[in-house]
Homo-oligomer: A and B are copies of this chain.
């Protein structure tokens, strides 16, 4: 296919007449500097001068170029990226999270390491972005997609009504949701069954004799938080146990302690509590201990994650362990195969592991 090369011939200058708009490339291709130049009726060089803020451009031409850029939604392709192949051999991971909260989460580093072990043998690289809010997040994905820096992106920490599945579909970039499949199902997903861990915890506690079990869930609005909460309700119902309303927290130690006190302040406090992560569980143990309760004699505690510290505290924490490393590796392989062949087959992930330590025991009475 022939594409118009710069401005059509004829004497420069003179009167500028309206021309039929040059044909845009069809389909999903992003606009180019040539498209902008054609639309603005200038040369590519002038467009380049404008976007690089170089002198030698008349205000009129500059404005036409700016308008054209705006109209086409164009932005310079980072370094005529991955020039011939159109493939950058690079995947993107955007984390939306307040930076100061990142270190509370054992998931992130493990998952990144897992991605890397999956990507390295395939010759792929990973570009990482950490953004503070939704607006920045959106911009990050748009930039990543438009300048062709990545062949595909991971979507983590999906929220209920998350705009990103629609966004990546609109941008036309390959994406993989890290977590359970979404309702719409537009974007492929790869995730372990969060619920099975919770069910294992409930069944463990029930077999110990617990009948009155509380739950401290994670930050509201996250898909996996809802999933775990639902699983908890389901597990209780299946076991024929009564339900204490789950207490909302946000994965931080402070919130975990607060939620624990809230549960223990009930007229009939639970004999066991399942937490949505280890950090809150450990804070919960400390909170319970400070009230004179002994763990596990007076209160059984189950965490989630199996952070390295879970084994180092007193009592060692009974918890749910996910093989995040393997998960990350599988996700990497799945996304690469998606961007290369278009085919996606959900890999088999190892099931969550239930690690029984010493923070759970039969209830007192």
Contacts and interface: CB of A to CB of B under 8 A. Distances in A.
- Give the number of copies in the complex: 2
Interface stretch (A24-32, A179-187, A208-216, A249-257): A249-257
Given A79-B81, A90-B127, A312 B116 contact: no
Interface string A128-152: 1111000010001000000001000
A238 interface: no
A76 B234 CA distance: 55
A289 B307 CA distance: 21
A80 B80 CA distance: 8
A187 to B, nearest CB: 23
Given A84-B79, A109-B105, A126-B129, A309 B99 contact: no
A85 B79 CA distance: 7
Nearest to A280: B312
A99 to B, nearest CB: 4
A311 interface: yes
B102 A113 contact: yes
A80 B83 contact: yes
Contact of A312 (B84, B103, B106, B257): B257
Contacts of A106: 103
A352 B112 CA distance: 28
A104 interface: yes
A130 B256 CA distance: 32
B129 A120 contact: yes
Contacts of A203: none
Contacts of A110: 99-100, 102-103
A103 B104 CA distance: 10
A279 to B, nearest CB: 6
Interface residues of A, number: 58
B127 A99 contact: no
Given A126-B127, A126-B128, A314-B289, A99 B116 contact: yes
A318 to B, nearest CB: 16
Contacts of A188: none
A276 B69 CA distance: 54
Contact of A99 (B84, B105, B114): B114
Contacts of A103: 106, 109-110, 307-308
A252 B308 contact: yes
Interface string A78-95: 111111110111100000
A217 B66 CA distance: 59
Contact of A79 (B82, B100, B307, B325): B82
A112 B128 contact: yes
A286 B312 contact: yes
A80 B89 CA distance: 12
Contacts of A83: 79-81, 83
Residue from A79, A84, A136, A314 with most neighbouring chain B CB atoms (10 Å) = A79
Contacts of A344: none
Nearest to A289: B314
Interface of A: 78-85, 87-90, 97, 99-100, 102-106, 108-110, 112-114, 116-117, 120, 125-131, 136, 140, 149, 252-254, 256-257, 279, 282-283, 286, 289-290, 307-309, 311-314, 325
